[in-house]
Amino acid sequence: MEAQPTSSRSFADTLRSVISHAARLALDVALPTLCVACREPVAGVGVCAECWAKLSFIAPPFCPRLGIPFVYDPGPDLLSMEAIASRPAYQRARAAVRYDDVARTLVHALKYQDRPDLAPAMGRWMARAGEELLREADVLVPVPLHWRRGWSRRYNQSGALARAIGRHSGVPVVRDALRRIRPTRQQIGLSRPQRTANVQGAFRVLPEQSHQIAGRRVVLVDDVLTSGATTDACARALLRAKAAQVDVLVFARVVDTHKAPI
């Protein structure tokens, strides 16, 4: 009986240690399984069923060149007004979803909140949206960050998406083909001509990488397509390096709902 106090103390210690271990385990399991958008518990990684339903997946009919969704089907091969007004350097663009609230939350979490674990799900949706482009593609090239931004954010979100798409489609990723050769301002808040000027000549295929691009059909990967200025500047750099064709695949694209289709 003299041993009782010691034994009960050690039992209490053991219990405490078990509880704290269990709590840690529960925390480890619970943290990655909260919905990124609404913070409700979710099975798997990413968004809950409710938030998933709020994502606007882009489906036909859409502009065969820019992938902009049409309100009604204008028939095959009819282009959107945007595609007719200013023809981009890239051939075609596709996006998984419209850039709205839930899409924005996902993009920001991937970009700024150190959540590369979201890339596989987002990449899977992109691989589906870009099936037509990926079937013909030789290589995937992510839009690069300037090295200073890459340093502060630790990883390139477009690179993470490209790797996920590569796993689904079997198309190889060329990571360092494209370089940002001068820092650019954030495109947010700039007008369309300012955006174009900001990124003009900012990208380049390094000569030692050009053999990976010349003669290849490239799918350029980015998280969001807004004005298309960045993707257009990247496409021009790839074409200068003799890419056979450049298509663009993004997670989300801004869709101007006020403009009528064609």
User: What residues make contact with Zn ion under the rule CB under 5 A?
Assistant: 35, 37-38, 48, 51
Q: What is the dihedral of CA 139, 235, 77, 251, to 10 degrees?
A: 70
Q: Which is nearer to Zn ion, 48 or 177 (CB)?
A: 48
> Shortest approach of Zn ion to residue 164 CB, angstroms?
21
Q: Counting Cβ atoms within 10 Å, is residue 74 exposed (0-12), middle (13-18) or buried (19+)?
A: middle
Pick from 94, 70, 95: nearest CA to 80:
70
Rounded CA separation 30/104 (Å): 23
Q: Which is nearer to Zn ion, 50 or 73 (CB)?
A: 50
Q: Which is nearer to Zn ion, 32 or 261 (CB)?
A: 32
Q: Which is nearer to Zn ion, 97 or 143 (CB)?
A: 97
Q: Counting Cβ atoms within 10 Å, is residue 210 exposed (0-12), middle (13-18) or buried (19+)?
A: middle
> Shortest approach of Zn ion to residue 16 CB, angstroms?
35
> Shortest approach of Zn ion to residue 35 CB, angstroms?
3
DSSP symbol at 206: -
Rounded CA separation 60/71 (Å): 10
Q: Counting Cβ atoms within 10 Å, is residue 212 exposed (0-12), middle (13-18) or buried (19+)?
A: buried
> Shortest approach of Zn ion to residue 30 CB, angstroms?
15
Residue with tokens 């650019």: 184
Q: Which is nearer to Zn ion, 48 or 164 (CB)?
A: 48
* Amino acid (1-letter code) at residue 117: D
* Amino acid (1-letter code) at residue 42: V
Q: Which is nearer to Zn ion, 42 or 199 (CB)?
A: 42
> Shortest approach of Zn ion to residue 52 CB, angstroms?
8
> Shortest approach of Zn ion to residue 124 CB, angstroms?
18
